[in-house]
Every structure is written in C-alpha cells, then in structure tokens.
Structure 1
Amino acid sequence: MQFIKTRFNYLFGSTKGLILVAIAMIGLETAIWGMLSGPMAEMGVREVVVNLLGMKLVQAEREGRIIILYHSIAMAVVAIETYMILGLLKVKAFYKSAVTVLITVGYILTMIFGMGFAYFGHNWAFHGLYITGLSLIFFAGVLLCIALWPWEKEYMFSSLLSGRGAGSEGDYAHLKNGVDLERVAFFATAVTTVISALFGAVPGSYFGNGFETFLAENIIRLPEKTTMEYSVIGHLHIMLALICVMITLIIGRWLNFKGLMHKIAMPLMILGTIVLNLGVWGVVTPLEPVAHMIIYVGATPSMFAALLLLIWSWNKLIKDGTANLKKPTLGHKLAALLRDPLKFGPTWQMLFMNFTTSGIGIFMAVK
C-alpha cells in the first residue's frame, strides 16, 4: 500500500510525474487509435481492433471522431507545457496548485470521455464530461495568465526576490524598470492561446446547429470559405503555432538562454507572437485578403528568435564541451555538440522543421 501511495504522490505530485502520466496517456491513445489508420486497415488490423474493443464507427461521423481525437491529444500536450512552465518559472503557490489540479483533471476528462463518446457509442453524459474537461483547461489557462503577470514586483529584476537572482539583470532581456521580457513572452503566448481557444470554440458551439463538421485539410485549397470555416482553419493553425512558440520559450528557459542573443530574441518573440495572432484573427474579418501577409510577418521574427536560441545553444554546447582543450578540432567540436542529445535534440528539431517546413511554407506562400 505504501508503494502505491508513493507512486501516486510521485505521478500526481511532482512535475516529472505529471509529465510522465500525460506522455503515457498520449502514448496509449496513439498506440490504440493508430491501429485504425489506413495502412492498418489494409492489413486487417483495424477490423480486429474495432471488434475487440467494441468500437462503433459510422463513416458519416468520421470527421467528428477525428476532431475529438485531435483535441484529446492536444489537451494533454498543453498540459505538459503547463507543467513545465510552472516548474521553470516562479509562480505563487496558490496559482501553481490551482492550475495544476484544473488542467490535470481537465485533460484526463477530455481524453477519457471524449474518446468514449466518439468511438464507443454516443453517451451524451460522456460528451458533457468532455466539454467539462475542455472548460476546466480553459479556466486553468486564464489562471495561468494571471500567475504569469510579468509586472508583479517580485518577478522583476530590480527586486531582490527575482527568480534569476539579484545582480543578473545584465544577462537577460529586460526593461529599464526591471520587467523580465522572457516572462512577458510567456505571458503574451499564454494570453493569445486563451483567446485563440475561444476563436475555435465559437464555431464549435454551432456544431449540430446548422454547421456541418469538416476537416480543414479537405477544404483548405477551396477559394471560397465561410466565416466559420475560416475560423476553424485559423484556430487549428494558430494553436499549433502557439504550442511551438511556448515550447521554444520553455527550451530557452531550461537551457538558461541569456546574453546578447537573448536580449534580441525576446522582443522579437513577443512581437512575432502578437502580430501572428492578429493576422490569424483577421482572417475572419474584411481584412482577410491581407491577413495572411500579416501572419507571415508575425511568423518571421518568431522563427528568427528561435534561430538565435539555436545558435546560442550550439555555441554553448561546443564551448562547454571543449573548455579543457587548447585548440579543439572540428571533430572535437562536433563531439561536444552531440554529447548531450537532450540539449542538442530540441534545437536540432527547430532547425530541421524551420528549414524544411515552416520557412519553405512561408517562402512559397509569399512567392
């Protein structure tokens, strides 16, 4: 019994434990529902899984099922990011506890009852609990925004209570009055995420009331779209972008990103995040013809800020790994860069994705 209690306290009472539970939930869901994919269907696996688990799949409801599947996984990802933020940034104890409880209960309700409703018969009580989970996550997001308020005196560099330590102002981006610009970036991303969630919730509230469910990939190339369709497409794109922005900020905080590049990157990240959101929100307004250009303008400084983090991180890994060598060779530098895959991996993925997907996408769109 003590073993179970100890395990439970670790899994739901520590940052690492909470992250582990969420990752396990995502892994379990991915493993099971991955068996329903096209290749699995061709091999006969899908039919076996459906019959074994008693799933009730109606082809006409496919889009609705996939939307719930998307959101179930996305909520767990957002929860993981939230745990990391609460673990890395200084936050008042009340907000840390409240946000943790709300988002944990929220994503678990969303995953379990959302998937139960979508794939195992339409028990509307399950749907209600799914919506309840989403609502709890939204409220957790609002509380997180309050907790991250960067103009709180104790979070400023000018305060002896600064989380970075007194006398460290010169190493990090900040305003003259001591406001930590990295915290402002976290705050801006959290606020715009909450607003952009509403951006998708509005058309979602019309499901079953004259608004036909669809997948964005099926209509993205159509020249004419309704306001609701633009809203859904904008919602999914901006939420993915904001998840990526928040991951970048988390990685930077974890690596203790600082110095000149940090001072350049943080204002760019704040600017890019705000402009990017304004562009997406403008898609459903008469400004739609120019909204996409605003999106590209917003994405560029955010991506450049991520590039600065990458350059700083790789330079630090190389310097730290060759500090005991007078004249390190190229081989030594490469070995130093790759010696810690946990620190090298995230920034490598940034480089790979920005140069093979995001950057090329923006270039082709502008062209």
Structure 2
Amino acid sequence: AAKLDELEQLLKGVAMMKELTLRSTDYLVSFGECMSTRVFAAYLNQIGVKARQCDAFDIGFITTDDFGNAEILEATYPAVAKRLHGDWIRDPAIPIVTGFLGKGWKSGAVTTLGRGGSDLTATTIGKALGLREIQVWKDVDGVLTCDPNIYPNARTVPYLTFDEAAELAYFGAQVLHPQSMRPAREGDIPVRVKNSYNPKAPGTLIAKGRDMDKVVLTSIVLKSNVTMLDIVSTRMLGQFGFLAKVFSIFEDLGISVDCVATSEVSISVSLDPSKIWSRELIQQELDHVVEELEKIAFVHLLQQRAIVSLIGNVRKSSLILEKAFHVLRRIGVNVQMISQGASKHFWRDFVAIA
C-alpha cells in the first residue's frame, strides 16, 4: 500500500508539472521491480520458503547519475557484501533483490542500468559475495549459435569465454547484457545461463577460458537498422590528426561507434542508435553529426544496413572468412565494410552489408 501511495503521488506530480524528466522516468519505472519483488517474496514466505525483499538502491548499489543508463561504481561491491552478509547472519532468509536499479552517488536518486540490467545486478551481487557460480535464468536454453527467430535450428553453445559472451551481447545477442560479464570476469566466477521453461537443459557455462582446439565458429549475431558513415578527409594525403578530429566530434555529440575501418585519409564507421529513443531524434542526431563532420571531410551516409558478427577461433580466421564470403557471394550480398576485432583469444569479423 505504501508503494502504491508513493507511485500515485509521483504520477500526480508528473501530471501537474506536465513534464517527465529522465530522473523522474527512472523513479517511475523502478516501481515495477520494487512491487514484483515484494509480491514474490510474500509468495515464497506463504509457501514456507523464508525470504526477504531487498531494494538494490537500499543495499548498496551505487551508480553514476546517468539516468536511464547508469554505471555501477566500485564502492558497490563492499557495500553490498556488508549489507547482505550482515542480513544473512541476523536473518538467514533468501534475499529477493530488485534488478537493474541503483542510487546515484551525487543525487541520491533512483537510477536504472539500462536494457538487461538485471543480469548486471546478478553478476554484481555474485562478485560482491564471492560466489562459486552465478546463474542467469532466461526463456531460451542458453546462448545460441544464432537468433532462433531467423534460423529455427539454432543450437545451444555449451561453453563460452567472458570475452566471447560480452562481444555477442554487445553486437546484438539478446540473452545477456553487454556489461553483465564484467563483474563475473573480474571475480573469476563462472556464469551459467539456464532456461526457466526447460530447467533440465544444461544451458551455457561462461568462464574465463575454454578449449578452443575444435572450435571454428561459435556464434553469428545480426544487428539490423545500422547506419554507416564513410568519411574522407578534404585535404587528402598527409593530414595530421584527422582521426583524432573525427572521433572528438563523435565524443562531443555523445555518439557511440560500433565498428571502424580506417586508412590514412578515410574512415568508415557504423553507429549505435540504441541510446536514442525515437526515429525523429535519430534523424536529428544523424543530421547534426553529418553537419559537424562536413567541416573537415566529405561524408557519405548509408542507412538501413546490417552488421553480421562472426565470433570464432582466432587461429582459424582464414577458414571462417573463406566460408563467409563464399556464402555472401552465392546469395549476391555486397560487403561494404569489414572490421576485425583485436582479441588474441578469439576472432570476430563485422561485416556491414547492403
């Protein structure tokens, strides 16, 4: 009842001011997690399983004040460990913790961690408590070889490294949050991805390393609706600092770059529009970045492209390239950009296609 009253007051304030800031949005969306965890904890207690509800922002989750996409600060780990260990000693009940929420270290306001932040919450708690294994329960049998909505015969990948999982998540795999592997990797704690609807499935085990001898291609990820920019220096050869100027423009405008292919006087990049909410804002941002870049370069904008990410064994990259380009040629797809990752442990190749 108290939470519902609090929510009602917030909504009345928003209606009265006729304004919804990012700070107010984070506060508003936090109520779903806060109330669902209270309901679940109450249900567990009702069936005889002792549980207690915990709001992440009250047990030590300290974040930046980037509302909508906050980052967890290092002070979170000792704070969470102290609180949960202390509560467990006094009252050994199962903690039911809200996902993807924190508290801004300057503002003290409720913040959210962005899409999939509940995975990040789980791995953060795992690192804070030094657990032997972290389990993340989803609606699929684990991390798959590709999107089952595109190819129904996708198979479960039994083992992944943290680096592979992070790359797959960042470039479009929806199973894991791109940043969720960082705490587990830092704490060297394996993460097991399981299926809530098929608990008997072994799932995917993500750990520091794995045997790569028989691995060729681990997974394929598609990111659609990608924007590409071909940027060519107006001064052509020998322009000192051209790359620095281009990327300083992206930094000033807060534009995230996915893939990069460069030469001395030209750069091709793909842009990540995930932090922009509407098509109108995306177009405004693109118009602005093109306008700024045209002060120092010729710019060619290509929209409605796709990135195909191939995650595989770095020692077999030539074989992967051979097979990939054979398929692309056979089906008549023209490759417009290639960007190879720098990992020494596995190989990835990003291909922007028409």
TM-score (norm 2): 0.28
TM-score (norm 1): 0.27
Greater helix content: 1
Greater strand content: 2
